[in-house]
């Protein structure tokens, strides 16, 4: 097609103008994007820095409040707390150099992690703890689960039911020392059941939802069987059965029942009337039998050991 020279020059001018306009628009768009990026980067730099309590100062403040302040706050004395820290330290300790490089401040100490765990298990809210300890929500849960795993994996803290002759004799002597006039000889542990309350399980989680409903407590739960020694330390604990099962049915499902059956002569575990009395599992006399003076006396001495131990089991399982 033929174009005049004047028309050609006009077309060239129009094309040049369009290209210049496109370049200007591209430059303007680039400036806008750079400006937005710099504003966003500046906003990201304005993060909130949480203040973290200094453990040494925290202990000093507790000391000022009295000798029992630490015990009441953590439900254990300071020496037991530090011993627990030393046990879990190899598994939970953070690499200090890497932590300072990543966060720009000192890493969370083992004491602070255990501080979070104990308060959380006692019913404390992570909202309060994450502010006082200066850690994020994600870090808070990471640390408490890390501590729990370390405690559960520790062989030093594992439940240990007495097995050897020496261990059985030491356990029996401990209970005998607690019994008035040493009346109960041969007891090596106290046994009891506990209903651990849970949310109503879904049908997809269990084949029988009603089995978890306890008619006695009118709630859903899991039957926990636990035993402790004369110092109220757990020697056995297990999630035994759905909450609808009674203690004797739950007891028969766990390995502990076999361990009790295999106890040597004159060594036994004591329980309440929810269990069946055997040579190795003693329970109080009930009904007309308890009116007999000798049997009533037996019930009295047996209850001495049961009451203290059962209170400890109930308290500890409630906290857990």
pLDDT digits (tens, 9 = 90+) for 90-118: 988 876 666 555 555 567 889 989 999 99
- Residue 7: its pLDDT value, please? 45
Instruction: Quote the mean pLDDT of the chain.
Output: 82
d(C-alpha 105, C-alpha 288), whole Å: 71
DSSP-based three-state secondary structure for 187:
strand
pLDDT digits (tens, 9 = 90+) for 120-131: 888 888 888 877
The answer to whether the beta carbons of residues 154 and 87 sit under 8 Å apart is: yes
What does the domain layout of the chain look like in residue ranges?
Answer: 55-153, 165-319
Residue tagged 């628009």 (tokens): 25
- Residue 3: its pLDDT value, please? 46
The residue-averaged pLDDT of 3-20 equals 53
Q: Is residue 239 within a helix (H) or strand (E), and if so which, with residue range?
A: strand 234-242
Closest CA to 217 of 179, 185, 244: 244
Q: How far out from the chain centre does Cα 156 lie?
A: 17
User: Is residue 213 predicted with pLDDT exceeding 70?
Assistant: yes
Percent of the chain past pLDDT 70, that is, above it, reads 78
Partners of 190 in the β-ladder: 228, 270
Q: Is residue 173 within a helix (H) or strand (E), and if so which, with residue range?
A: helix 165-178
43-47, 61-65, 143-147: which is most confident: 143-147
CA torsion through residues 128, 151, 234, 70, sign: negative
- Residue 15: its pLDDT value, please? 54
pLDDT digits (tens, 9 = 90+) for 147-183: 999 999 999 888 899 999 999 999 999 999 888 888 8
- Residue 28: its pLDDT value, please? 73
CA torsion through residues 147, 150, 155, 156, sign: negative
State pTM to two decimals: 0.67
Burial of 1 (0-12, 13-18, 19+ CB in 10 A): exposed
Strands 268-270 and 234-242: unpaired
pLDDT digits (tens, 9 = 90+) for 25-56: 667 777 777 676 666 655 555 545 566 778 88
- Residue 131: its pLDDT value, please? 75
Residue tagged 């006039």 (tokens): 181
C-alpha dist (Å) from residue 128 to 46, 107, 132, 170? 23, 20, 6, 44
- Residue 31: its pLDDT value, please? 73
DSSP helix, strand, coil percent of the chain (3-state; round to 5): 55, 10, 30
pLDDT digits (tens, 9 = 90+) for 245-280: 999 999 999 999 999 999 999 999 999 999 999 999
Name the pLDDT band for 212 (thresholds 50, 70, 90).
very high
DSSP-based three-state secondary structure for 80:
helix
CA torsion through residues 259, 226, 154, 91, sign: positive
DSSP-based three-state secondary structure for 258:
helix
d(C-alpha 115, C-alpha 75), whole Å: 11
**Which one has a higher pLDDT value, 13 or 81?**
81
- Residue 226: its pLDDT value, please? 94
Residue tagged 């106290």 (tokens): 190
Name the pLDDT band for 304 (thresholds 50, 70, 90).
confident
């Amino acid at each position: 097609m033929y174009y005049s020279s004047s028309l050609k020059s006009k077309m060239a001018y129009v094309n040049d103008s369009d290209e210049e306009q496109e370049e200007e628009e591209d430059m303007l768009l680039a400036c806008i994007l750079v400006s937005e990026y710099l504003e966003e980067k500046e906003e990201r730099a304005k993060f909130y820095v949480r203040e973290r309590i200094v453990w040494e100062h925290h202990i000093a403040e507790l000391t000022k409040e009295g000798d029992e302040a630490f015990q009441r706050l953590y439900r254990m004395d300071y020496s037991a707390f530090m011993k627990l820290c030393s046990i879990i330290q190899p598994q939970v300790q953070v690499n200090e150099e890497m932590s300072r490089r990543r966060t720009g401040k000192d890493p969370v100490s083992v004491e602070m992690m255990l501080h979070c765990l104990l308060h959380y298990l006692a019913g404390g809210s992570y909202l309060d703890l994450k502010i006082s300890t200066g850690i994020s929500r994600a870090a808070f849960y990471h640390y408490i689960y890390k501590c729990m795993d370390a405690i559960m994996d520790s062989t030093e803290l594992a439940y240990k039911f007495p097995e050897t002759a020496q261990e059985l004799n030491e356990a029996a002597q401990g209970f005998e020392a607690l019994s008035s006039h040493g009346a109960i000889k041969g007891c090596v542990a106290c046994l009891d059941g506990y209903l651990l309350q849970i949310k109503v399980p879904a049908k997809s989680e269990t084949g029988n939802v009603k089995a978890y409903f306890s008619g006695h407590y009118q709630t859903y739960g899991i039957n926990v069987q636990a035993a402790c020694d004369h110092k109220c330390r757990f020697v056995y604990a297990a999630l035994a059965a759905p909450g609808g099962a009674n203690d004797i049915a739950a007891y028969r499902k766990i390995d502990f029942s076999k361990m009790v059956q295999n106890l040597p002569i004159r060594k036994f575990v004591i329980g309440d009337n929810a269990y069946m009395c055997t040579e190795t599992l003693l329970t109080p006399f009930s009904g007309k039998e308890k009116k007999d003076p000798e049997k009533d006396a037996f019930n009295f001495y047996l209850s001495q050991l049961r009451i203290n131990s059962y209170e400890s089991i109930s308290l500890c399982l409630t906290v857990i």
